[in-house]
Amino acid sequence: MTLRTFGDMYCWCCHLEDAMYSCKKCARSYHRRCVFEMPNYPEPLFNPESMDPSSMDSCPECVAADETVLYSMKNVLPPQLNYILHYVIGKLKSDDFMFENYYDIPKPKAHTRSRAVIVKFMDILTLEKNVKHEVYKSLEGFFGDAKWIRHNVAVLSGRKSDEMTNVEKLIHLIASEMLTIDLCHECYVRKQGENSIENLFITACSRPHLLGWAKTDGITYWPVKIMGIDLGKKIAIVHTFGEHKQLELPLRDCLIYSHDSPSSNRRLQGQLHGWKKACKEMRRHMELVEEKHGKVVLAEEKVRIRCTLSEAVQRMFPDWKLKIMNATALKYADEEELERELEVRDILQQASSADDESSSTDED
């Protein structure tokens, strides 16, 4: 084992020893073979003038944490982001509290193996404090910190231990919440509140959702919001009107919304009542979207998705424009655009105020 005077001796990716590629911004270290093989992460940043080829200016986790690359989160400022994240912490502290062992982990004592090999202590309580103090600038930053819990367990208990199996469930839950937030953080916040599920689906968000038809059962086309698409894997994540389900479907089973349904009444059979209810919800949602974002351009019948989600949304809602918020300055063409973009912050602030009032009432 190579002795180290800085950084982590264990690789962030595989959790094995002799990780010699260290990050200058954090305590993470990597094997050379691992640092360039992190799927869905940006490449590390190296200083070309550095005499030490194993020293990274910024590792993939730090590059990701500095500025979110997630499509839907680019206009969310840190105060609102951390307010959203407090709901994630709430999920981790739910009634059954299956992750209680990771909430308030005892800190390693001096002169122990734990103290020698753990370079960054982390537990759910620490994450909660960071959220309270608005530490995180991106979902990736929060997720990167959460993964220190897994890394520390892997180092202390082993990669194939029972403890590792349990902590993987924690990381999987957080990853699932991150995905849901990325699909639409406004829908995520509303879902935590007291709004009925119907109101959740028909409310128009600041970033409109692509509307479509989807074969939810492989046969019948159902009205849906297309929340995310992966052109590489050829899959789509949809939220169904009426049934209010989240489904992952083959992209070939999804069509851009048209006035006429691709399904005939004959194919609907016993689902006709539910289908009509779903279509009614869709029409009401479209009315609210038109009030908020302008005209909705429907497709011709049976038009498949052959572009990115943002391009498809822009075509369906040509009057809608989203400008990225800057934490220090907001520059918009006119006040109307500014008001439109600040609505998402109003939603979060109202929810936060409601929580504060509820807490005050409980204290009284």
Query: Which of 11-15, 108-112, 358-362 shows the lowest per-residue confidence on average (mean pLDDT)?
Result: 358-362
d(CA 223, CA 194): 25
Within a 10 A sphere around the Cβ of 242, how many other Cβ atoms?
22
Whether the CB-CB separation of 8 and 24 falls below 8 Å is answered with no
d(CA 285, CA 212): 12
Residue 317 to residues 58, 295, 332, Cα–Cα distance (Å): 38, 6, 19
The alpha carbon torsion through 277, 278, 284, 290 (nearest 10 deg) reads -160
Note the pLDDT of residue 281: 93
What count of residues does the chain have? 364
This prediction's pTM: 0.76
Note the pLDDT of residue 3: 37
Residue range 94-145, pLDDT digits in tens: 856 788 899 999 888 877 888 888 999 999 999 999 999 999 888 889 999 9
Residue 355 to residues 92, 99, 124, Cα–Cα distance (Å): 18, 24, 21
d(CA 134, CA 86): 10
Long-range contacts of residues 110-117, Cβ cutoff 8 Å, at least 24 apart: 113/156, 114/156, 117/9, 117/10, 117/155, 117/156
Query: Which is nearest to 44 in space by CA: 17, 65, 15?
Result: 65
Note the pLDDT of residue 201: 80
Residue range 17-42, pLDDT digits in tens: 999 888 888 999 999 889 888 877 77
Whether the CB-CB separation of 293 and 320 falls below 8 Å is answered with yes
Q: What is the largest CA-CA distance in the chain?
A: 74
Residue range 204-226, pLDDT digits in tens: 988 899 999 999 877 789 999 99
Note the pLDDT of residue 224: 96
Using DSSP's 3-state secondary structure scheme, residue 95 falls into: coil
Say whether pLDDT at 290 is over 80.
yes
287, two tokens = 């009315």
49, two tokens = 């003038």
